[in-house]
Amino acid sequence: MELYFLGTNAGVPTLQRNVTSIGLRMLDERRALWLFDCGEGTQHQILSSPLKLSKLEKVFITHLHGDHVFGLPGLLSSRAYQGGTTPLTVYGPPGTERMITTVMELSQSRINYELKIIEHTGGLLFEDESFIVESALLEHRIDSYGYRITEKDRPGSLDQVKLAEYGLKPGPLFGRLKRGETITLEDGNVVRPEDVLGAPKRGKVITILGDTRPCENVLPLAQHADVLVHEATFMDDLADTAHEYYHSTAKQAAEAARAANVGELIMTHFSSRYKDEDQLQPLLEEARTVFPNSRLANEHQLIPVIYHQEISRP
């Protein structure tokens, strides 16, 4: 899994940074792309990225402020022209479906793929054999949600020495053992998965928050995550301004990361008052005094999601 930042600015785009959108590329896990928010210009950003709209499987909208959704109708309309013909699901707060269908109807946009829109107010949104996606309400001027993506633990690797002891050779039986099935050999010996599999490979956890000021739902969403993506609109000298406008400071993002015992904090959604990378460095320094493993999101930066072994989970 890899995170790719398509926009890291708050409110309005600047010459240096676009508004919010984050890609989660999962080529090894499911050969798919998930998108979190879709601010204006997102599809242009994708054209300059290694991401492929033909792989887009799901879009998760945190809230309906324009800097998080104004790029969505255009992206949905043009997706088919970039090879996207497979079904696509959009998750978002109440009002998401009305926004999308109104724009598509008035513009007479037509798509040739199945589009499913799921509105939610938090809770369990999606689960299959590999992933769980949960959501909870944050604290912003309008309803804004955070998302917790949990990769389920995977079976351990097959022990080739133990397989040889049973006389097993590569073939369909290997797959059955990996799927957790017990097999019976021609000589009557029974081989259980735990006899030939190593320890399970722990799945990774990613938490991506929408706009928010510090609130109680941040902790359960981020608890023991390998990566926490948290807004850091201002430095802490503007904490009163951040609170008034329902945003967070870099220090507050770091405090959330420390309290939740996450592996890494990635900060994004920076105020346009910070014009360039030099002006953003104080935010990073501020965060690192509280949570050393912090970084700033840079646009068109691909960040591998690293499993943090030191994180203890229930």
Q: Which residue in 67, 143, 226, 236 is the catalytic one?
A: 67
Q: Any binding-site annotation on 120?
A: no
Question: How far apart, in whole angstroms, are the C-alpha atoms of residue 11 and residue 104?
Answer: 24
Question: How far apart, in whole angstroms, are the C-alpha atoms of residue 263 and residue 227?
Answer: 6
Question: Which amino acid, residue 285?
Answer: E
Q: Any binding-site annotation on 153?
A: no
Q: Any binding-site annotation on 211?
A: yes
Among the residues of the chain, which ranges form H helices? 27-30, 42-47, 66-69, 72-78, 96-106, 160-165, 172-178, 193-196, 218-222, 239-244, 250-260, 277-288
User: Which residues, in sequence order, are CB contacts of 107 under 8 Å at separation 6+?
Assistant: 73, 77
Q: Any binding-site annotation on 230?
A: no
Pairing of strands 294-296, 264-268: parallel
Residue 270 DSSP symbol: B
Please classify residue 94 by burial: count the beta carbons closer than 10 Å to its beta carbon, then call 0-12 exposed, 13-18 middle and 19+ buried: exposed
Q: Any binding-site annotation on 68?
A: yes
Q: Any binding-site annotation on 65?
A: yes
Q: Any binding-site annotation on 140?
A: yes
Of the CA atoms within 13 Å of residue 309, those in its CB half-sphere come to 1
Contact 120, 88 (CB under 8 A): no
Pairing of strands 302-304, 2-7: antiparallel
Question: How far apart, in whole angstroms, are the C-alpha atoms of residue 210 and residue 102?
Answer: 24
User: Is residue 67 among the annotated active site residues?
Assistant: yes
**Numbered residues of the known binding site for Zn(2+):** 63, 65, 67-68, 140, 211, 269
**Numbered residues of the known binding site:** 63, 65, 67-68, 140, 211, 269
Which residues are annotated as catalytic? 67
